[in-house]
Structure 1
Amino acid sequence: MAQRIVTDTATGKDATGLTAAWGRLPVLARIAIVYVVARLITTGLLLAAAGVSGPASRYGVDPSLGDLALGWDAQWYWLAAVSGYPSELPLAAGGHVAENAWAFMPVYAYVSAAFGAVLGTWGAGAVVVSLLSGFGACVALHALLRDRIGGSAALWAVVFFSCGPLAALFQVGYAESLFLFLLFLALLCVQRRRWAWLYLLVPVMGFTRPGILAFALFLGLYGIHRLWIRRRDPLPVREIVHIVALGALAVIVGFAWQAIAAAVTGDPGAYLATELAWRRNFLGDSSMHFAPVEGWVQAAAFWFERWGLGAVTGYVFLVVLVVGVTLALMLPAVRRLGIEVRLWSASYLVYLLLVFFPQSSVFRLLVPVSPLWGAFAVPRSLWWRLGVLGLALLGQWVWIYNMYAIANTYWQIP
């Protein structure tokens, strides 16, 4: 039977040739091309944001890419790298603990400083660490999803991930990119049951960015799951030992930074008071004490009252949101991603519900559940995938425009 050939009338070349050439490329090369193109798109959007940045913006008129890359939290990581962590907690005008570097973990700050020593500045080192970590995260994400949803869908998940609404994080001085790389490697180790690597990954993750307690919860739930299905998937004693030991290690690491802050400052509540300093900007003195879930309840009233909808509406929305997210994790497309991705996503979302006060940074804090992009890649329709990509890029511009172009009010903080 004759093969039908589609010809490009402008060039006379076989249009299937590009597809075939793409298919012959090693997976690593394809991921690299996707990532480079995605970073060029983000660079263009950042340049566009710089072009419309005005005098009221935090960045002023016509900021450089370097100015944008080193804004907001990047300044705190830089301060930690060059000045260390304060032995005396700074106090605000009201006498309470002010924002300070203890809220920012040391690994990213010091790794960026090491690269910066070679490249000339801490900022250059930070951007390079973010860029390299982002590529590593893409490779690890593809490996994590490939055996669950297939190579093609896994690559599309990488496309969505690298072009997503928060993709600017891959080229600014934030620790998220490095944390995602470490996290995806850790999830891959659990998926493939290579426990030894986790004894290294867990401590490094824990001192890169808050969230290792969510990984402890994940390991606990994973252990219960393995115990439940042990008849069809045997659970050897050595694996039980690893799961329990790693869960305990994650808990210890999760509280270690608080203990270090307490030891250095002499204040047992140094870390918690530092974290609450940011919440105080929204809630005032009502944020002086911490209780699990309280942040979301307070936020439901805070935001909905400002929108003129009333606190009760906010509480109803919060309940609907929790129920909706729970049901979403049970969708068939999500189930196809594997138990590791589902349990991690559930664990991390529970962690956010317990400890976080939602504000504009909530979108950034959701990036650790990025393996869920795989669910959007499961449908094989090209139009569906292009539609998801288009919405991701639109979301990226909305984020960049608000956080880096306007950047002049309390809800425009990345």
Structure 2
Amino acid sequence: MPPRTRHSLPPALTIALVYLAARAVTLGFLVLAATLSAEGTRFGAGASVQDLAVGWDAQWYWYLAVNGYPTELPLTDTGAVAENQWAFMPIYAYLAAALAPLVGGWWGVAAVLISLAAGYGATYVLYRMLRGRIGGNAAVWAAAFFATGPLAALFQVGYAEALFLLWLFLALWAVSARRYGWVYPLVILMGYTRPGVLAFALFLGLFGIFRFFSRAREPLRVVEVVHIVALGALATVVGFSWQLIAAVVTGDPGAYLATELAWRRNWLLDDEGHFIPFDAFVRGAAFWGQTWGWGAVGGIILLVVLVVGVAAALLWAPPVRALGPEIRLWSVSYVVYLLAVFFPQSSIFRLLVPLSPLWGAFAVPRSLLWRVGVLLACLAGQWWWIYNMYALGNRFWQIP
């Protein structure tokens, strides 16, 4: 990074200005989406920005904060487990409830303020994490892409994504700096903010293998091995602990998985309610292939092409390689995690947000025309997402 001059701003302030400008644009998009909301859409005529901010899954977080977790799983008319609070981790909902008295008792206001603050923290940490790899100027651009990206509205609604990203980026930054002691509490915070800590466990395993084979370039000390193994074990335990907690509270050993699968039944009416790793993505590919008129085989072929393309980019694309091994290994781990557990539907856009460190790869090219083009594409994608998910939200593929 070039040295600061007398007239340059502190990095934290630079990122704050970028972030605030991005939030102003997003607010404008949300105001426009509320204006365009009409009869027959998700939020109906006369919707406000406040309605959008506490809509969709934000309603579940609010309901969780007010009612807690059920001790008896709700059932549908057919006897299957219905959608319920066990699909949502506790930290975000309860943190907003704890802060609500400071803002007049409004849970939604507290939740949005948490998202806003966590979003700035995540943006700044992303800048700091990338600065040593791609340079200060490129890192600022990467932070701008992240702050204005297609899913940037998540920084201004009652979703847990921004808080999870803050913990995740801090953990990746700590691993990159070999400050393993900081990662222990961050693993716990990640695990009870949003699903995804098992992907971090896989990342730690791959990172340990990488460190073993790169020990000639960077000595691998015993204490580092102990930290990597211990952190991997902790992430694994935390990742599976929610299933155990749900089982103990409800008395149903399969409570958590049955709850997660309840959402999938909205897409696969013939779903038998069994979880098999990687099965959901294959069935999803077949579902979308049939929906789009390509046939089940065509959908699966598209999935294979996409997976191979992503793998090739993460392994060989020079802009991605410039980000360093930690971000690349995390990206591989998270993609594998999604393939293993997720049924691909409209929420896939939101679930890809933990791959946001890859924005650094889009900032590596030094061409101003390229960077401005990426920024405009981010804003266009952001409006497309807000318009479909919040101004409309009335079709099966318009669910955030």
What's the TM-score bracket when you normalise by the shorter of the two chains?
Answer: over 0.9
Specify the code of the residue in structure 2 equivalent to 1:39. Answer: R
Q: Deviations over 1:60-91 (max 9, x none)?
A: 11311110000010011111111100000000
- The answer as to 2:156 corresponding to 1:171 is yes
Other-structure match for 1:8 = none
- The answer as to 2:400 corresponding to 1:400 is no
- The answer as to 2:30 corresponding to 1:29 is no
Match of 1:252 among 231, 237, 241: 237
8 Å Cα contact 2:327/2:357 also seen in 1: yes
Once residues 259 and 376 of structure 2 are traced to their aligned partners in structure 1, the CA distance between those partners, rounded to angstroms, is: 39
Other-structure match for 2:206 = 221
Once residues 250 and 207 of structure 1 are traced to their aligned partners in structure 2, the CA distance between those partners, rounded to angstroms, is: 11
TM-score, structure 2 normalization:
0.97
Once residues 5 and 269 of structure 2 are traced to their aligned partners in structure 1, the CA distance between those partners, rounded to angstroms, is: 59
Match of 2:99 among 108, 115, 130: 115
Deviation (angstroms), 1:21: 9.3
Once residues 271 and 40 of structure 2 are traced to their aligned partners in structure 1, the CA distance between those partners, rounded to angstroms, is: 30
Deviation (angstroms), 1:186: 0.3
Q: Deviations over 1:121-148 (max 9, x none)?
A: 1101000000000000011000110000
- The answer as to 2:186 corresponding to 1:201 is yes
Write out the 4+ residue segments of structure 1 that deviate beyond 2 Å after TM superposition: 20-23
TM-score, structure 1 normalization:
0.94
- The answer as to 2:262 corresponding to 1:266 is no
Deviation (angstroms), 1:22: 10
Provide the identity percentage: 64
Deviation (angstroms), 1:23: 5.7
8 Å Cα contact 2:35/2:48 also seen in 1: no
Once residues 223 and 373 of structure 2 are traced to their aligned partners in structure 1, the CA distance between those partners, rounded to angstroms, is: 46
Specify the code of the residue in structure 1 equivalent to 2:374. Answer: V
Specify the code of the residue in structure 2 equivalent to 1:270. Answer: A
Other-structure match for 1:100 = 84
Other-structure match for 1:11 = none
- From the CA coordinates, give the structure whose radius of gyration is larger: 1
Once residues 157 and 59 of structure 2 are traced to their aligned partners in structure 1, the CA distance between those partners, rounded to angstroms, is: 11
Specify the code of the residue in structure 1 equivalent to 2:286. Answer: A
Specify the code of the residue in structure 2 equivalent to 1:127. Answer: V
Specify the code of the residue in structure 1 equivalent to 2:228. Answer: I
Aligned-residue Cα RMSD (Å) equals: 1.1
Once residues 318 and 34 of structure 1 are traced to their aligned partners in structure 2, the CA distance between those partners, rounded to angstroms, is: 36
Deviation (angstroms), 1:163: 0.2
Specify the code of the residue in structure 2 equivalent to 1:319. Answer: V
Q: Deviations over 1:152-183 (max 9, x none)?
A: 00000000000000000000000000000010
Other-structure match for 2:367 = 381
Once residues 408 and 21 of structure 1 are traced to their aligned partners in structure 2, the CA distance between those partners, rounded to angstroms, is: 52
Other-structure match for 1:325 = 310
Secondary structure of the residue that 1:24 maps to in structure 2?
Answer: coil
- The answer as to 2:398 corresponding to 1:412 is yes
Deviation (angstroms), 1:287: 4.3
Q: Deviations over 1:313-342 (max 9, x none)?
A: 101101101100001112000000000000
Once residues 372 and 22 of structure 1 are traced to their aligned partners in structure 2, the CA distance between those partners, rounded to angstroms, is: 32
Other-structure match for 2:321 = 335
Deviation (angstroms), 1:285: 3.4
Specify the code of the residue in structure 2 equivalent to 1:408. Answer: N
